[in-house]
Amino acid sequence: MASTVTTEPSENPAAPARPGYGQLLRTRGVWAFLLPGFAARQPFAMLTISIVLLVQHTTGSYGAAGAAAAVTGVSMALFAPYSGRLADRYGQHAVLIPGVLVHTLSGLSLTALALSHAPLWALLAAAVPTGASVPQIGPMVRTRWSARLQGSPLTATAAAFESVTDELTFVVGPLLATALCTAVAPAAGLVTEAALTLLGGLLFAARRSTQPPVAERGHARVRQASALRVPGVRVLAVAFLGIGSVFGGMQVSLAAFSESIGRPGLNGVLYGTFAAGNMLSGIVCGAITWKVAPRRRLVIGYAALALTASSLWTAHSVPLLAGLGLLVGICIAPALITGYTLVGDLVAAGARTEAFTWLTGAVALGQAAAVTVAGQLEDRAWDCAGFLVPMAGTLLALATLLALRSRLAGPPRARTVTRGVGHRAPVAVD
């Protein structure tokens, strides 16, 4: 008699050795989408800080700057999953071309309105299409990796590599945006963001041979099921909201801190230190063959993130703030990498672009809420009050993660155990 028992692969600590980055990057055809994908995703890390610096310069208010950046982030968070579903259904090329064009025009319109000292309502109106049309390059690159590797052991390495790439953009992007806005012109960051989006997005869209195949029409019902219906995706979205609160809270608060000490150019250095810790931690995490189950890694890593983020508001000197920012950055990468890795166990292949965009959108939504609240705190409360936002966001997300961590288990896989001779019909047992 045979019995079918279930196992949870995501909780199996005895994983085989993971192939390295070198083997991953030697995969045939991947450079065709990696290089244009890196150029096209760079603007994502420049957008929020460019809006904050431009609007604060033209209005003199961090509250107004945070509101404009927040509307952009909320719009992106709301429309990104819909963009991901369309990409799963019709192909990435069909979604990218109009999205890139709309985003470029919207970003330039927002720049022109800010420079002309338009009222805040006009800036917020222009921020809506700017955020809604942000190309979802990161999720699309992750989906191309999944399609190219198709369940290979390199899949986990690819997830880590993509997280490292994301962190690299958050090192280069804010530094570049801050340098352009402070050394060239207040609008230079947003103009460069629009130009990079146009160039990189069109080059990435042109690589049609590397995009995942579009599912046949006979599977339309499967494609239409939202990835957000998976309980684990909802839990991960909450966790990524907390991560977004760290990004947004630090962007506004570091800018305000640098301004308060009369050294606005230091903002890019401080944020770059935070992002560098994130990137270096991601490189290390991706190279480790973990024996700890992903769910447990996520909880432990997130607890460390909440602890370090809760100490930011106590820093009142540049060295201390840089050191704490570095520690916070080191703690973010493990949570991001583990979250994206868990999606592979939770969501079917035909809905992964949408699932990835839900997580990316959650980061943007958390970032949007954080820049709004942190901007108000910096305007109305004491210096460094905006650092309370990362503390609150990560603690609330950690509480949710602890309460609902059982929902992060992937779907069970059947394992057949044969007993006796000539009896192989599987029978489900508890």
Helix (H, G, I), strand (E, B) or coil at 413: strand
Say whether pTM exceeds 0.85.
Answer: no
Query: In this predicted model, what pLDDT tens digit does every residue of 65-94 receive, in sequence order?
Result: 888 888 888 888 788 888 878 887 888 888
Q: Give the pLDDT of residue 49.
A: 83
Decide if domain 2-11+20-215+226-428 falls under CATH 3.30.450.190.
no
Residue 111 has pLDDT above 90, yes or no: yes
pLDDT band at residue 421 using 50, 70 and 90 as cut-offs: very low
pLDDT band at residue 148 using 50, 70 and 90 as cut-offs: confident
Q: Which amino acid is at 211?
A: Q
Residue 10 has pLDDT above 60, yes or no: no
Q: Give the pLDDT of residue 179.
A: 85
Contact 41, 137 (CB under 8 A): yes
Give the separation between CA 56 and CA 378, rounded to whole angstroms.
12
Which of 67 and 349 is assigned the larger pLDDT? 67
Give the separation between CA 122 and CA 129, rounded to whole angstroms.
12
Residue 208 has pLDDT above 60, yes or no: yes
Q: Give the pLDDT of residue 280.
A: 83
Query: In this predicted model, what pLDDT tens digit does every residue of 164-181 receive, in sequence order?
Result: 787 677 767 877 888 898
Residue 260 has pLDDT above 70, yes or no: yes
Residue 122 has pLDDT above 50, yes or no: yes
Residue 264 has pLDDT above 70, yes or no: yes
Give the separation between CA 153 and CA 16, rounded to whole angstroms.
9
The pLDDT > 70 percentage for the chain reads 85
Residue 5 bridge partners (DSSP): 415
* Residue carrying structure tokens 């947004």: 248
